[in-house]
Structure formats: structure tokens, C-alpha cells
Amino acid sequence: MMLLYHLWLSPHCRKVRLMLGEKQLPFETRIQKTWDRDESFLALNPTGEVPVLVDEDGNRVCGSQPICEYLDEMYGDQPLIGTGAVMRAEVRRLIDWFDVKFNEEVGINLVEEKIMKRFLGLGEPSSSAVRAGGRNIHTHLGYIDWLAERRTWLAGEDLTLADLTAAAHLSCVDYIGDVPWDEHPEAKDWYARIKSRPSFRPILGDHIPGAPPPRHYADLDF
Amino acid sequence: MMLLYHLWLSPHCRKVRLMLGEKQLPFETRIQKTWDRDESFLALNPTGEVPVLVDEDGNRVCGSQPICEYLDEMYGDQPLIGTGAVMRAEVRRLIDWFDVKFNEEVGINLVEEKIMKRFLGLGEPSSSAVRAGGRNIHTHLGYIDWLAERRTWLAGEDLTLADLTAAAHLSCVDYIGDVPWDEHPEAKDWYARIKSRPSFRPILGDHIPGAPPPRHYADLDF
């Protein structure tokens, strides 16, 4: 069986979990505390970061986008990075949007400040970072509103890795209750559709000891 | 003809220029001052960032990795992201290494601090950032040494986008004379091989008004 090294509230790891779920590939998970030095893990991935996937053949793949590209090439009945170079470019543009821009402007400011800092004993969250994250999330939800008004899924007619990536990032912020869903009805409707997919069930079951999610987090009718 | 919106000292833009050069695809360039608000450019790429490529068919592709994946799929006689899913995973792992890790640990600390801040009137470079960049670059050159001792090119026997990406990032730091080549002979030998390729010539011809490169920058025998 495949083995995924991950962390619960890492959006990049959740993206891979969703991809594996959509591909209906069974996998085991192992939590890798990337803040502790672990020589055997560094031998697997010299950056020391998650996600890392070890395939059944023993192939190891590092990083969320390389892993998802690999899975889409290897297990390809229904491509999730889109069909044709032009569509794939659009899917990858949106993936970059969430993996880089959303992560920097929202995820790090909210999830890392409020959760990771506390767990690692790095002090109180910075109130200016939290305020910035809370402001910035509206731009991103507004962009999802805009896309969802024009397309069935974020990149076009079909569900793609762009949807899974956006939902992975939002799900981490939703775990701490910081997504203003009610102000963004189209984004909320899109997220409700993703949330009801079987691939999402394990994500909704995540429960970090000492930091439980709000009640609406796992609720399909939120 | 294709049109590339870019900036001179952006490693992500240089990566695309090298990819286009290796594919022998003719293209025009347009400098996009991403710090000035430009509605027509925002319509092309809502992040407002470069690189953006407009293909001959009018397809626009945003972001260095989506552009390079697109070019490799569309103009594919000699794939530069590798052959087979396992090799592509290794190429993409190394691309991520330089686009994310090198960029954060070295490029931003040196090139953005020393050049971009000055051009944008954002004050003096932070001496602690510059010191960190100067320390961190040894880790990265050491990793290139290690790979170059074991492989012909960074990802294996063939030149790939991993080499182009690493060279694009290093070339920006070399433009300000901050690469300690003499302490890393294998990395230097690898870079000399890349530097002598026709695709690299336009990069070596870059000359930013008011910030000329050191003499060794364009010298193939540096």
C-alpha cells in the first residue's frame, strides 16, 4: 500500500489526501513532525518537508504538486489535471493561486499563527498577521464566487485538482472557524459540493487533540 | 510570435526564457512593471505577476511552472521535464527545490534586498537578510556539488528543466556577484556547462541600466 508522510493541518498534505481519495487509491498515513530532526526522513526528502509519498513500488515522490502530477500520470483513467495542454495550464494556474498566493496571504497568517505557533510554543499569534489574513480571505472567496458564477467547477466543466487544492487550503482555515462563508454564497455552494464528496470524508474526520474544530466544520449543511 | 511578459532579474522569468531557448521557440519579450497597477495586464493575469506567456494561438499561460509544463506538452520533440512519471517526479522535486527553497533562503535575501529594494526606493538592504542569504547559498551549492558528482545533469543523464531552473536562480545571484563559485568546484563545472549553451546567451546579455553585472557574469571561462 502507498504511504503518505503528512501533517494534519498542512494544506499541501490535504491536497494529496484528496487526490488519492478521488483516485480511490488506498493509502496509509504517517505523521511526520517536521520540526524534529529525523535523519531517516531527511534521507527520503532532503528538504525535511511533507508531503512525501512512497508508492507501492518504493518510488518516493516529494512535494504536493510533483506527487499529484505523478498520481495523475500513473493512475489516469479520469485525469484530474485536465484534458489538453490549454486546460491543464488553467488548472495549474489556479493550483498555483491557492498553493502560493492564498497560502501566503491567508493560510500562514491564520492557521500558522493561531495553531502552529501555539503547538510549537512560539508565543501568541501576531494580531497584525491575523487581521491581514482576515481581510485577505475576502479577496480569495470573492475570486471563487466569480469563478463559480461562470463555471461548474473552478477551472471549467469538470472537477479538477484546482478544486481539490482550493478546498484543501480553505478546509484548514475552516478548521479554525475563520471562513466567512455567509458573505460569499457562491463560494459556499461550491465548497458544499466538494465537502459532500467521499474523498473529503477523512478530512472532515480530522480531530487534533487539544484543538477541536468548530461544530460546522464537519457538517455538510453548514 | 509568442510574447513573454517578464522582468529582467526574476528567476521565474529567466527559467521560462531558458525553456523557450532550449525548445528553439522564437518569442518577443515585454517588461511588465508589476509594482505599477495595470488593468490590461491584470485582465491577463489577475495575480498581477510575471511571467505570463501569450502563445501564437492567443492562449495565455500564467506562472513559470504552468508555462514550462505547457511548452513541454505542446512542443515535445525532446521532453525537458523528463521521460516517464518517475523521472518527471524527480525533475519536479528539484524544480520545487529551487523555485521555493532556494528562492526563499537565498534569492529573496540577496537579489531582492540588494537590487529590487533600491530600484523601488524601499531603503537599504537588511544586513541580516544579506548575511543569511550569503550563508544559505553554501547549502544549495553543496547540494548541487553532491548531485553533480553522481549524475551528468542534476536529475540524471539528461539535461532537464531542473538544470534550467537551478541555473535561472543562480544566474540572478551571479548578476550581483554573490555566488562563491570557487568554493564549489563541481557546481561551478555544472554551471559552466549550462552557461555555454545557446539558450543561455540572452540571459548573459542582460544589462540593467544603473546596475551592471560584474565582469565574470557573462564570461564563459569564469
A70 and A95 assigned to the same domain = no
Joined grid coordinates for residue A163? 478544486
User: Which pairing describes strands B2-6 and B27-31: parallel, antiparallel, or unpaired?
Assistant: parallel
Q: Is residue B204's pLDDT more than 90?
A: yes
Determine, for residues A59 and B86 on separate chains, whether the beta-carbon distance falls below 8 Å. yes
B123 and B169 assigned to the same domain = yes
Compute CA distances B84 → A14, A64, A89, B80, B89, whole Å: 25, 18, 20, 11, 9
Mean pLDDT of A132-146: 98
Cβ-based contacts of B97 with chain A (< 8 Å): 47
A92 and A187 assigned to the same domain = yes
Cβ-based contacts of A101 with chain B (< 8 Å): 47
Joined grid coordinates for residue A123? 508565543
Lowest mean pLDDT among A197-201, B114-118, B140-144: B114-118
Mean pLDDT over all residues of chain A? 96
Question: In this complex, which of A61, A86, A89 lies closest to B89 when CB atoms are compared?
Answer: A61
Strand partners for B208: B211
Question: In this complex, which of B62, B73, B96 lies closest to A63 when CB atoms are compared?
Answer: B96
End-to-end CA distance of chain B: 34
pLDDT bucket at A23, cuts 50 / 70 / 90 = very high
Whether ipTM exceeds 0.85:
yes
Report pLDDT for B116.
87
Joined grid coordinates for residue A201? 470524508
Which residue range(s) make up the domain with A96?
A: 85-204
Using a CB–CB cut-off of 8 Å, the residues of A that contact B are: 46-47, 59, 61-63, 65-67, 69-70, 73-74, 85-86, 88-89, 92-93, 96-97, 101, 143
Determine, for residues B66 and A93 on separate chains, whether the beta-carbon distance falls below 8 Å. yes
| HSE-up (13 A, CA, CB side) for residue A94 | 27
To the nearest whole percent, how much of chain A has pLDDT over 90?
Answer: 95
Determine, for residues A85 and B65 on separate chains, whether the beta-carbon distance falls below 8 Å. no
pLDDT bucket at A43, cuts 50 / 70 / 90 = very high
Q: Tell me, what CATH number does B25's domain have?
A: 3.40.30.10
| Residue B161 placed within a domain | yes
A108 and A11 assigned to the same domain = no
Question: In this complex, which of B46, B61, B88 lies closest to A89 when CB atoms are compared?
Answer: B61
SS3 content of chain B, % helix, strand, coil (to 5): 60, 10, 35
* Cα B17 to Cα B165: distance, rounded to the nearest angstrom: 10
Sheet holding B2-6, edge to edge: B27-31, B2-6, B52-54, B60-62
Determine, for residues A69 and B92 on separate chains, whether the beta-carbon distance falls below 8 Å. yes
- Number of structural domains (chain A) is 2
B23 and B131 assigned to the same domain = no
* CA nearest neighbour of B153 among B206, B199, B94, B103: B94
Give A127→chain B minimum CA distance, Å: 24
Question: In this complex, which of A63, A89, A97 lies closest to B93 when CB atoms are compared?
Answer: A63
B175 and B212 assigned to the same domain = yes
To which H or E segment does residue B12 belong? helix B11-22
| Residue A219 placed within a domain | no
Report pLDDT for A116.
87
What confidence tens digit (pLDDT) does each residue in B12-57 have? 999 999 999 999 999 999 999 999 999 999 999 999 999 999 999 9
Report pLDDT for A6.
98
Question: In this complex, which of A67, A70, A92 lies closest to B66 when CB atoms are compared?
Answer: A92
Residue at which a domain ends, from A74, A106, A134: A74
A·B CB contacts under 8 A: 63
Mean pLDDT over all residues of chain B? 96
Q: Is residue A76's pLDDT more than 80?
A: no
Angle, to 10 degrees, between the axis of helix B161-175 and the axis of helix B11-22? 130
* φ and ψ at residue B180, rounded to 5 degrees: -80, 70
Amino acid (1-letter code) at residue B29: T
**Are the C-beta atoms of residues A30 and A3 closer than 8 Å to each other?**
yes
| Residue B79 placed within a domain | no
What confidence tens digit (pLDDT) does each residue in B139-184 have? 999 999 999 999 999 999 999 999 999 999 999 999 999 999 999 9
A193 and A122 assigned to the same domain = yes
Determine, for residues B70 and A62 on separate chains, whether the beta-carbon distance falls below 8 Å. no
To which H or E segment does residue A186 belong? helix A185-195
B46 and B136 assigned to the same domain = no
Q: Tell me, what CATH number does A164's domain have?
A: 1.20.1050.10
* Cα A51 to Cα A64: distance, rounded to the nearest angstrom: 6
* Cα B93 to Cα A121: distance, rounded to the nearest angstrom: 31
Residues 6 or more apart whose Cβ sits within 8 Å of residue A173 = A106, A107, A110, A111, A137, A179
| Residue B196 placed within a domain | yes
Lowest mean pLDDT among A135-139, A209-213, B154-158: A209-213
* Cα A118 to Cα A115: distance, rounded to the nearest angstrom: 5
Question: In this complex, which of A63, A88, A97 lies closest to B47 when CB atoms are compared?
Answer: A97
Cβ-based contacts of A81 with chain B (< 8 Å): none
Determine, for residues B63 and A88 on separate chains, whether the beta-carbon distance falls below 8 Å. no
Report pLDDT for B76.
75
Question: In this complex, which of A46, A85, A101 lies closest to B73 when CB atoms are compared?
Answer: A85
Residue of B42, B64, B86, B154 to mutate for A, most A C-beta atoms under 10 A: B86
CB environment B9-46: b (16+ within 10 A), e (fewer)? bbbbbbbbbbbbbbbebebebeebebeeeeeebeeebe
Determine, for residues B143 and A93 on separate chains, whether the beta-carbon distance falls below 8 Å. no
Residue at which a domain ends, from B74, B98, B114: B74
Q: Is residue B88's pLDDT more than 90?
A: yes
Give A157→chain B minimum CA distance, Å: 18
A51 and A138 assigned to the same domain = no
Closest B-chain CA to A53: B89
B126 and B21 assigned to the same domain = no
| Residue A128 placed within a domain | yes
| Residue A211 placed within a domain | no
Torsion of CA A69, B88, A98, B99, to 10 degrees: 170
Report pLDDT for A135.
98
Cβ-based contacts of B74 with chain A (< 8 Å): 85
To which H or E segment does residue B11 belong? helix B11-22
A89 and A179 assigned to the same domain = yes
Sheet holding A2-6, edge to edge: A27-31, A2-6, A52-54, A60-62
To the nearest whole percent, how much of chain B has pLDDT over 90?
Answer: 95
Residues 6 or more apart whose Cβ sits within 8 Å of residue B81 = B68, B69, B72, B88, B91, B92, B160, B161
